[in-house]
Amino acid sequence: MTQPAETAGRPGGRGRPVLLTVDDDPGVSRAVARDLRRRYGDRYRVVRASSGEEALEALRELKLRGDPVAALLADYRMPQMNGIEFLEQAMDLFPRARRALLTAYADTDAAIQAINLVDVDHYLLKPWEPPEEKLYPVVDAMVETWLASPDAALADVRIVGHPWSAPSFAARDFLARNAVPYRWYSAEEPEGRRLLEAAGAGPDDVPVIVPPSGEALFSPTEAELAAAVGLTVEPSTDFYDLIVVGGGPAGLGAAVYGASEGLRTVLVERQATGGQAGQSSRIENYLGFPDGVSGGQLADRARRQAAKFGAEVLTARKVTTLETQGPARVVRFADGGCIAAHAVILATGVAYRQLEAEGAGALTGRGVYYGSAITEAAACAGEHVYIVGGANSAGQSAVFFARHANCVTLLVRGTSLEASMSHYLIQQLAAIPNVVVRTGTTVVAARGEDHLQELDLRDTTGAVETVPASHLFVFIGAAPRTEWLDGVLARDRLGFLPTGPDLVVDGARPPGWPLQRDPYFLESSAPGVFVAGDVRAQSVKRVASAVGEGAMAVTLVHRFLGDR
């Protein structure tokens, strides 16, 4: 790896977080490295490169050694690979590293473009003299944000498991969806066996998770795993202004707007922020991102934005009960704990329906997956992947896995994609040579011993074809997660939550409604309990509308609080 002599052999340098700069102008490169060492050299290792390719090679070596990278500063105008192109590729290696673009005044339009394209945090105009006023405040903000991310403390989380173990997959998926970096070791490989032996465990104890503390966890629950890797699982207080239940786009939107408008806000998510949208490999029709954005990146930005405004985010906490106790709304957790607030926004989203195919349930997590399960991408290399579903999420997954698998077959029950999928995605799929769309096809059986090996596919004539398959990703239907609200709030026949005007029938307010006004637009059948996003009856199932409803719900919360 190319780096200055003064940092290459410095005692204790290895293992410290890295600040990497890349600029093809030797004078500028030396100047930025000098200024960074002057302020951060006692805590960070400054690495500089003279080209994007050289910087990527340095990042690959850092990745292999397990060294954390806190921030990347790249010049925009470089030959062969400009700064935006470098930062876009660097995100694949260190997605949580903070990013800044060094640019001249004439290139500020490019810097603004980069904010959308590669989630650039800042851009710096050259020259930045004096650094105390123009450089250090920007780098300070980047470092502070990175220190608050899992990368800062969790770069050495290790998982040992079996490739076809459902619990092992669940642990990897949980960490990946919560943007916690980890290293995966198969229990069949030498390094995996060494880790198991060091932890005093055997092959039957997997998954074994070793956090930075070194205290191994054996088949932990999600709550135990979340606590061990530094995610917040306990509330800081027992009473808030606003509780948001669910961390998808609607919930994150509500948390951002609630906290930014001065409400003491806590968001409770049972697994990972982002919801179904967070599993999307690329969302291309979301306003303001002309080049698309992955669901994970969008969720990460929203999560950081909520935290910036002071919202708490509790992970791996399942809400099981909602109660009204006088002016307070109380939510109870599965572990017996509870918190209360003046108002609640329910943004619990929907879950993919289970595949009603013989043998599919037993193979879940062992070849049959719900959602994109992006952690399986590497295992799909050279394989024939099958995807069930005809909506946007299935199409986005097909585009993603086509970059890894030898062939991707999209299995659609309907006669065409036009009724359920966006036009831009249909066009993309048609242009990808290794994607096959089979309409009028359903999965009737899944078979395999320790993992998925075969599928039975039925067409509209009733004929059944058996095909070899190792990976099946399911995106069928949308079932609301509202069983825990039965008898508490009004639900429609499908389990969705009606709100506002839908609750007023022939001028009559919902049964038990205690107020002398009709429910507000997003208000449920219980005053002070609002609903946003996909779980709401008659909602538009799109990311943008969910975010908008989350913001609108906060406005109605303020109106509700003002009525009291």
From the list 31, 19, 21, 25, the residue with the least C-alpha distance to 79 is: 25
**Distance separating alpha carbons of residues 402 and 432, to the nearest angstrom:** 8
Percent of the chain whose pLDDT exceeds 70: 93
Mean pLDDT over 391-398 rounds to: 92
pLDDT band, residue 545 (cuts 50/70/90) = very high
From the list 157, 99, 95, 105, the residue with the least C-alpha distance to 128 is: 105
Mean pLDDT over 206-213 rounds to: 87
User: Residue 66 above 70 pLDDT?
Assistant: no
**Distance separating alpha carbons of residues 69 and 98, to the nearest angstrom:** 9
User: Residue 6 above 90 pLDDT?
Assistant: no
From the list 411, 435, 415, the residue with the least C-alpha distance to 425 is: 435
Give the ranges where 148-203 is alpha helix by DSSP (H): 150-154, 166-177, 190-198
- Give the DSSP letter string of 482-510: -GGGBTTB---TTS-B--GGGG-BTTBPP
The mean predicted confidence, pLDDT, of the chain is: 89
Identify residue 207 by its one-letter amino acid code: P
From the list 102, 130, 92, the residue with the least C-alpha distance to 24 is: 102
382 with 405: CB under 8 angstroms?
Answer: yes
Q: Which of 92-106, 176-190, 302-316 has the lowest mean pLDDT?
A: 92-106
Mean pLDDT over 105-134 rounds to: 71
The residue whose two tokens read 């800044």 is 100
pLDDT for 325-368, tens place per residue? 999 999 999 999 999 999 999 999 998 899 999 999 999 999 99
Q: What pLDDT score does 419 carry?
A: 87
The residue whose two tokens read 């104890």 is 205
Higher pLDDT, residue 91 or 423: 423
Q: What pLDDT score does 113 carry?
A: 64
Mean pLDDT over 444-451 rounds to: 95
Q: Three-state DSSP class for 6?
A: helix
User: Residue 60 above 50 pLDDT?
Assistant: yes
Q: What pLDDT score does 108 carry?
A: 65
Chain centroid to CA 156: 20
Q: What pLDDT score does 263 carry?
A: 98
189 membership: H or E segment, kind and range: none
Indicate left, alpha or beta for 52 from its phi (over 0: left) and psi (-120 to 50: alpha): alpha
pLDDT band, residue 208 (cuts 50/70/90) = very high
Q: pTM of whole model > 0.85? A: no
pLDDT for 234-280, tens place per residue? 999 999 999 999 999 999 999 999 999 999 999 999 999 988 887 77
Q: Three-state DSSP class for 545?
A: helix
Cis omega (within 30 of 0) on the bond before 127? yes
- Give the DSSP letter string of 251-268: HHHHHHHHHHTT--EEEE
pLDDT for 371-391, tens place per residue? 878 888 889 999 999 999 999
Burial 412-426 (b: 16+ CB within 10 A, else e): beeeebeebbbeebb
**Phi, psi at 251, each rounded to 5°:** -65, -40
172 with 184: CB under 8 angstroms?
Answer: yes
From the list 70, 68, 33, the residue with the least C-alpha distance to 50 is: 33
From the list 25, 93, 103, 89, the residue with the least C-alpha distance to 53 is: 89
Q: What pLDDT score does 85 carry?
A: 85
pLDDT band, residue 115 (cuts 50/70/90) = low
Structure tokens at 211: 């956090």
pLDDT band, residue 10 (cuts 50/70/90) = very low
Q: Three-state DSSP class for 295?
A: helix
Q: What pLDDT score does 27 carry?
A: 87
pLDDT for 491-537, tens place per residue? 999 999 999 999 999 999 999 999 999 999 999 999 999 999 999 99
Q: What pLDDT score does 7 carry?
A: 34
Structure tokens at 195: 């880790």
The residue whose two tokens read 């039965």 is 486
Domains annotated on the chain, with CATH = 5-147 (3.40.50.2300), 153-228 (3.40.30.10), 239-350+480-563 (3.50.50.60), 361-474 (3.50.50.60)
- Give the DSSP letter string of 424-450: HHHHHHHH-TTEEEEES-EEEEEE-SS
The CA–CA distances, whole Å, from 188 to 157, 163, 191, 192, 245 equal 19, 9, 9, 7, 40
**Distance separating alpha carbons of residues 137 and 461, to the nearest angstrom:** 67
Mean pLDDT over 50-56 rounds to: 91
pLDDT band, residue 225 (cuts 50/70/90) = very high
Neighbours of 461 (CB within 10 A): 7
pLDDT for 474-493, tens place per residue? 999 778 989 999 999 999 99
123 with 101: CB under 8 angstroms?
Answer: yes
